[in-house]
Amino acid sequence: VKSEAEAVAALLAELTMRGDVRVGIGDDAAVIGPDPGTLLAHDMIVENVHFRWSTHSAADIGHLCLAVNLSDIAAMGGQPTAAVVGIAGPLEQLGEIGLRHMYRAMDALAESAGCAIVGGDLSQAPVTVIGVTVIGVMPSGVAPVTRSGANIGDALCITGSLGRSAAGRALLDDPPRHPTPQMTALMDAHRRPTPRLSEGRLLAAGGATAMMDISDGLLIDAARLAAASGHRVVLDLDSLPVEPDVAAVARSRAARPDVFAASGGEDYELLVTLRPGLLGPLGDLVIQIGEVREGPTGLQVVRGTTPVSVHDRGWDHLRSPAG
Amino acid sequence: VKSEAEAVAALLAELTMRGDVRVGIGDDAAVIGPDPGTLLAHDMIVENVHFRWSTHSAADIGHLCLAVNLSDIAAMGGQPTAAVVGIAGPLEQLGEIGLRHMYRAMDALAESAGCAIVGGDLSQAPVTVIGVTVIGVMPSGVAPVTRSGANIGDALCITGSLGRSAAGRALLDDPPRHPTPQMTALMDAHRRPTPRLSEGRLLAAGGATAMMDISDGLLIDAARLAAASGHRVVLDLDSLPVEPDVAAVARSRAARPDVFAASGGEDYELLVTLRPGLLGPLGDLVIQIGEVREGPTGLQVVRGTTPVSVHDRGWDHLRSPAG
ipTM: 0.83
Crossing angle between the packed helical segments B181-191 and B58-74, to the nearest 10 degrees: 70
CA-nearest of A113, A105, A115, A273 to A197 is: A113
Q: Out of A8, A84, A137, whose CB is closest to B99?
A: A8
Ramachandran angles phi, psi of B10, nearest 5°: -65, -40
Question: How remote is the C-alpha of B290 from its chain's centroid?
Answer: 19
Mutation test of the interface with chain B: which of A3, A14, A42, A140, choosing the one with the most B Cβ atoms within 10 A?
Answer: A42
Report in angstroms the alpha-carbon separations of B23 from A116, A128, B29, B70.
12, 28, 8, 17
Q: Out of B33, B116, B127, whose CB is closest to A16?
A: B116
pLDDT (tens digit, 9 = 90+) per residue, B117-157? Answer: 998 888 999 999 999 999 999 998 999 999 999 999 999 99
Confidence of residue A8 (pLDDT cuts 50, 70, 90): low
Complete DSSP assignment for A197-258: HHHHHHHHHHT-SEEEE-SS-HHHHHHHHHHHHTSEEEEEGGG----HHHHHHHHHTT--HH
Report in angstroms the alpha-carbon separations of A222 from A230, A232, A300.
12, 10, 9
pLDDT (tens digit, 9 = 90+) per residue, A247-278? Answer: 999 999 999 999 999 999 999 999 999 999 99
Q: Does A36 touch chain B (CB under 8 A)?
A: no
Answer yes or no: pTM beyond 0.90.
Answer: no
Interface contact A91-B318, CB threshold 8 A: yes
CA-nearest of A50, A61, A133, A51 to A94 is: A61
CA-nearest of B231, B241, B215, B210 to B299 is: B231
- Using CA atoms, how far apart are residues A138 and A228, in angstroms rounded to an integer? 21
Contact A150, A291 (CB under 8 A): no
- Using CA atoms, how far apart are residues B86 and A46, in angstroms rounded to an integer? 11
Neighbours of B198 (CB within 10 A): 12
Interface contact A30-B131, CB threshold 8 A: no
The strand pairing partners of B211, in sequence order, are B272
**A145 has pLDDT over 50:** yes
Q: Does B138 touch chain A (CB under 8 A)?
A: no
Complete DSSP assignment for A140-152: TT-PPP-SS---T
Q: Does A133 touch chain B (CB under 8 A)?
A: yes
Neighbours of A239 (CB within 10 A): 17
- Using CA atoms, how far apart are residues B323 and B320, in angstroms rounded to an integer? 6
The strand pairing partners of B232, in sequence order, are B293, B298
Could you tell me the mean pLDDT of each successive run of 10 residues in chain B, 323 residues long?
56 67 81 85 93 95 97 97 94 90 94 92 93 94 95 98 97 95 97 97 97 96 96 97 97 94 95 96 96 96 90 39 34
What part of A 46-85 touches B (C-beta under 8 Å)? Answer: 46-47, 49-50, 81-82, 84-85
Question: How remote is the C-alpha of A169 from its chain's centroid?
Answer: 16
